[in-house]
Amino acid sequence: MFLASKGYNPFANQNSTPFQVQGSSNSSLQFLFSPEEDTSSLSFCPGGPNAEPILCLTDWSGKINFLRLKDPNTVIFNLIYNAPILCHDWLNNESIATGSCDNIVSGWDLRSQKRFSLASHSQPVKVVKWSAELVDTRSSSVSKELNLEQKIFDADVKGNLLAVATSNRHIYVYDLRNMSGPLLQRYSILCHQSTCIAWSPTLEGYAVGGIDGRVGFQLVNAPKGSGSVLKAHRDDGRFKVGTNKSYACNDVKFHPATGTLATIGSNGYIHFWNLVSQKGTKHFEMQRNRDGSPAPVNRCCFSNCGQNFAFSLSYDFSEGPRHGDVERKIYWYRVNPSDVQ
C-alpha cells in the first residue's frame, strides 16, 4: 500500500533543535506549530524505517502544511486549496489525497505541487483512506461504491479490511477484496453516537469513541454486545466541580507495535491505555483556554515506527458556535517504551 520513495524528496534536511514547551514537566513533549485555523486532519508520512518523520496537517482554511519535528513553528512545504479540507491520507511518500467541503477528493503530487482529481461526492467528504485494492489514482472513475444510507462519522482501513462508524451507532466491516456485502454489521458497544474508529494492529478488533467520552473495544469475532468500555473523557472535576459532565472522544489511534490505545477528548486530555489491564499508562492534560474552559484535543496520530505521537489543539464545536480565543496548536511527543507497555 505504501511504497518507499526514490529520488526526489520535497523535505530536504535542515539542522535545528526542538523547542521545549514552557512550563512542561516532561521534556519529551514539544510544541511544534500554531496553525491559523482549526486543524481537520493529522498524519505522519509513512516513510521507511530510517526516514525522518514528516507531519502533514490540513485545516479549515484549505491549507495543507508539512512540518519537520526538528523545526518548530516552521512550515517546510505547503499546498493551498480553494475550499476547507476535512481529511487526508498518504498515497505514498510523494503524494496525498484530500477530501474537502466542495465534495471533491483530490490527489496532490508533491514533486510538482500539482492537484489532480480523484473522485467527487454529493456531500462534503468526511473521510479519505487509501487502499490499493480499490483505487487506481491514474483514473478518476469509481471502482466500487457502497451506499450505507446513513451518515458516516469515521472509517479506517488496514490491510484488506474497512471499518465504518455511522449514525444510529452502526458499525460495518468490509473485506475490500469482495464488497458484495459486509463481513460484519452490528451496533456499537457504546450507548451513544460514535465519533471515531480505528483498527488494532493485529486486525483482531477495533476501538470506537463516542460523544459521551467513553471508548469501546470489540473483537471482530466476539459475540454480539461483548467487549470492553473505558470511561476515557468524563468529568475532569475542575471546570464544573460536582457535575457529571461528559466530553466527546475526538480520536482514537493504536500504537503500531504494542497495540496501546491513545484517546483524545474535548476535555483537553490525552490518555494512553493498556487494553489488557484496562488501565492508563500515560496521561497529558493540556493548557486551558483563557476563560478557563478545556482546550479540546481534536486529532492525533502515531508515526509508523511508533516513536512519535502528534496531536492538535483546536475547537471541535462540542459547545456549539463559539467566539473568542481558542487554542490552536500542534504538539509532538517522543514516546517512551514504558508509555506503551
Class for the domain spanning 148-341: mainly beta
Cβ neighbours for 187, distance < 8 A, ≥ 6 positions apart: 169, 170, 171, 225
Measured distance CA(201)–CA(268) in Å, rounded: 26
Matching CATH number, 30-130, of 2.40.128, 3.30.460, 3.40.190, 2.60.120: 2.40.128
Grid cell at residue 58: 490540513
Mean pLDDT of 273-302: 89
Q: Map residue 75 onto helix, strand or coil.
A: strand
Compute the Cα dihedral for 129, 308, 281, 270 and give only its sign: negative
Q: Per-domain residue ranges for the chain? A: 30-130, 148-341
DSSP state of 268: S
CB 194 within 8 A of CB 151: no
- Taking only the tens place, the pLDDT of each residue in 131-180 is 877 656 666 566 778 889 899 999 999 999 999 999 999 999 999 988 88
pTM for the predicted model, two decimal places: 0.88
Q: Which of 142-151, 170-179, 192-201, 302-311 has the lowest mean pLDDT?
A: 142-151
Cβ neighbours for 89, distance < 8 A, ≥ 6 positions apart: 43, 96, 97, 128, 129, 130
Per-residue pLDDT, 319: 77
Per-residue pLDDT, 7: 32
Measured distance CA(102)–CA(108) in Å, rounded: 16
- How many other C-beta atoms are found inside a 10 Å radius of the C-beta of residue 121? 13
Q: Which residues share a beta bridge with 25?
A: none
- Taking only the tens place, the pLDDT of each residue in 84-96 is 999 999 999 999 9
